[in-house]
């Protein structure tokens, strides 16, 4: 530790050392203690336990930390509703809260579950997170924190809709349940916190996630509502197609609807689980963990590319001669496409800035030579399942991005220049894209780069795969094939000739 720059602490949960995951927490701690900017690292027996509720905050205060890397299993950092550890999750949330309420204390999570039985790859993951933390701006731009409207609208009063409404009501969220007809079972008085609107239909929806303005029409009058989330609950049930009832299709086989506005949810086969996701979204809006893009006016050259690529109309040109823009945090979905398209790095995505992603790429590729970039949605779920079952090979650095739209030509070139061989990019399928098809920006970037990559021979090192959330086998097979193909290529032509790391970029790094 050179005493300059950020002061980073690393906290590693050792419960995985005692489980069949086989990750050695003490080995990770011993390794990271020698890194620049890491002033303290330790393992804890049970990060989710109630006894560790204030551990992270205590470490920040005791060692004057301004950055904190938490390495743990996934269910707690991922803000999921886990029936097995609901109570314990609160402890970790409070630990993070204690840390982040201190001045300039930023935190990052490392999902050790993605490195089953691979201590070395767990160290790589912590290295990537630490490198990112070292370059996180001291004063992080606002992440869209605001007080949401703590009411919900559920469209569809069938079994799914009623289950979702009851779950939201039990969580203390006033819920409006809307349907064109009153289905069986809704004749009695509605449960607490639920208001039933039948017959009625949604005529207009304005605003965005956290603050929707809804107009309902029914019984000869219009009703205006303000809600924070909207949950769509199809009323189709699984029925025998031979009877001609309904559509004769199981709910799970229905085509997906057009991809969504932030704050809207399509009910799954478990209405309560979907309601839990909607409630968690309100919490993220209130805490400001819904990452939004920002624009630096001094760096902006007024090209307006960010305006053209945003599928949410969240970026507006300001009425000034420099063509500067404003990003509406209410409309920004956080895909990162604007940051990828920006010619001058003026647009950035909070938590995924160009410098942070550069640092993670260099740290990961420098340790493994192979890089897998996954989007935060379907592809990550497939990767997570494959990793938990030990289906992914050793020596693979994993970088998670909000969407493939965030992977810019610059980041691709950096990964290749640093020695990524192979460079695998796994995004959602066309139907599964969370951000209105922004996944296609990666294809557009590669299309512009094809000639140059082909001339340099680097095109053979690049692999792109589209995944659904259950495609763990597809991903595992593709990753194994890519790594084998490149291993044979290296054996035939010798080691990859890449520039020295110091020459691979011009932005500069601490260290």
Tracing tokens 């906290």 back to the chain, one arrives at 11
Omega before 199 within 30 of 0, i.e. cis: yes
Q: Residue 495's pLDDT is what? A: 63
DSSP 439-486: THHHHHHHHHHHHHHHHHTGGGGEEEEEE-TT-HHHHHHHHHHHHHHH
Give 461's contacts (C-beta < 8 A, 6+ positions apart): 416, 420, 421, 422, 423, 486
CATH number of 351-511: 3.40.50
Q: How far is CA 261 from the centre of its chain?
A: 16
Q: How far is CA 174 from the centre of its chain?
A: 28
**Which tokens belong to 343?**
């010619």
Q: Residue 467's pLDDT is what? A: 92
* Top-level class of domain 152-286: alpha beta
Tracing tokens 């989710």 back to the chain, one arrives at 48
Q: Residue 78's pLDDT is what? A: 42
pLDDT along the chain (511 residues), means of 10: 72 68 82 92 76 71 84 54 35 37 46 66 89 76 64 89 89 91 64 88 84 86 90 63 36 40 75 79 64 88 92 86 82 89 91 92 94 90 85 91 94 95 92 81 91 89 92 95 91 61 35 30
Q: Is the dihedral of CA 511, 136, 306, 325 positive or negative?
A: negative
43 beta partners: 12
Distance CA 110, CA 80 (A): 15
Q: Is the dihedral of CA 186, 189, 191, 192 positive or negative?
A: positive
Q: Is the dihedral of CA 437, 438, 443, 444 positive or negative?
A: positive
Outline which parts of the chain fall under CATH 3.40.50: 1-140, 351-511
Distance CA 373, CA 392 (A): 14
Name the strand (E) or helix (H) holding 294.
strand 293-295
Q: Residue 417's pLDDT is what? A: 94
Distance separating the N- and C-terminal Cα atoms of the chain: 9
Q: Which fold has domain 293-349?
A: Alpha-Beta Plaits (3.30.70)
CATH number of 1-140: 3.40.50
Distance CA 336, CA 403 (A): 7
Q: Residue 503's pLDDT is what? A: 38
The 10s digit of each residue's pLDDT in 165-198 is 998 998 889 999 998 887 665 555 778 889 989 8
Distance CA 380, CA 173 (A): 30
Whole-prediction pTM: 0.73
Residue 375 phi/psi, 5-degree rounding, is -75, 165
Residue 396 near residue 127 (C-beta atoms within 8 A): no
Outline which parts of the chain fall under CATH 3.30.70.20: 293-349
Q: Residue 305's pLDDT is what? A: 93
Buried residues in 354-377 as b, exposed as e (16+ CB within 10 A) = bbbbbbbbbbbbbbbbbbbbbbbb
Q: Residue 98's pLDDT is what? A: 37
Q: What angle do CA 454, 455, 460 make, to 5 degrees?
A: 35
Outline which parts of the chain fall under CATH 3.50.50.60: 152-286
The 10s digit of each residue's pLDDT in 222-236 is 889 999 999 988 765
């Amino acid at each position: 530790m050179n005493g300059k720059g950020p002061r980073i602490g690393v906290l590693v949960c050792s419960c995985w050392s005692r489980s069949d995951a086989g990750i050695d927490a003490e080995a990770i701690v011993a390794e990271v203690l020698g890194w620049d900017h890491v002033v303290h690292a330790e393992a804890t027996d049970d990060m989710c336990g109630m006894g560790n509720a204030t551990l992270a905050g205590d470490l920040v205060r005791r060692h004057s930390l301004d950055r904190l890397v938490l390495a743990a299993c996934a269910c707690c950092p991922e803000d999921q509703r886990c029936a097995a550890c609901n109570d314990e999750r609160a402890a970790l949330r409070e630990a993070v809260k204690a840390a982040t309420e201190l001045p300039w204390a930023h935190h990052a999570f490392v999902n050790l579950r993605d490195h089953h039985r691979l201590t070395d790859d767990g160290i790589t993951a912590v290295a990537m997170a630490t490198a990112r933390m070292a370059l996180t701006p001291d004063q992080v731009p606002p992440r869209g924190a605001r007080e949401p409207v703590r009411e919900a609208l559920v469209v569809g009063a069938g079994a799914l809709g009623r289950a979702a409404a009851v779950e939201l009501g039990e969580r203390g969220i006033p819920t409006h349940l809307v349907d064109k007809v009153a289905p069986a079972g809704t004749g009695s008085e509605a449960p607490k916190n639920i208001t039933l609107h039948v017959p009625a239909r949604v005529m207009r929806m304005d605003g965005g996630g956290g603050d929707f303005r809804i107009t309902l029409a029914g019984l000869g009058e219009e009703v205006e509502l303000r809600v924070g989330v909207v949950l769509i609950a199809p009323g189709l049930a699984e029925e025998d197609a031979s009877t001609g009832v309904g559509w004769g299709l199981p709910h799970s086989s229905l085509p997906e609807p057009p991809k969504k506005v932030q704050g809207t949810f399509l009910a799954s086969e478990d209405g309560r689980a979907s309601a839990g996701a909607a409630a968690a979204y309100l919490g993220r809006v209130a805490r400001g963990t819904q990452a939004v893009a920002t624009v630096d006016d001094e760096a902006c050259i007024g090209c307006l590319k960010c305006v053209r690529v945003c599928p949410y109309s969240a970026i507006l040109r300001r009425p000034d001669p420099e063509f500067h823009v404003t990003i509406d945090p209410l409309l920004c979905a956080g895909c990162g496409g604007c940051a990828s398209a920006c010619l001058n790095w003026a647009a950035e995505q909070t938590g995924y800035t160009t410098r942070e992603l550069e640092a993670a790429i260099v740290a990961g590729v420098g340790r493994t030579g192979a890089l897998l970039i996954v989007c935060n949605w379907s592809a990550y779920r497939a990767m997570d399942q494959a990793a938990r079952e030990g289906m992914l090979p050793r020596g693979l650095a994993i970088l998670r991005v909000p969407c493939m739209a965030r992977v810019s030509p610059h980041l691709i070139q950096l990964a290749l220049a640093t020695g990524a061989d192979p460079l695998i990019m796994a995004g959602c399928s066309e139907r599964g894209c969370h951000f209105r098809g922004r996944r296609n920006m990666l294809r557009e970037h590669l299309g512009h780069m094809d000639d140059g990559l082909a001339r340099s021979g680097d095109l053979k090192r690049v692999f792109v795969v589209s995944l659904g959330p259950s495609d763990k086998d597809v991903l595992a097979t593709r990753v194994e094939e890519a790594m084998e193909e490149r291993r044979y290529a290296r054996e035939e032509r010798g080691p990859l000739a890449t520039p020295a790391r110091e020459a691979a970029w011009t932005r500069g790094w601490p260290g």
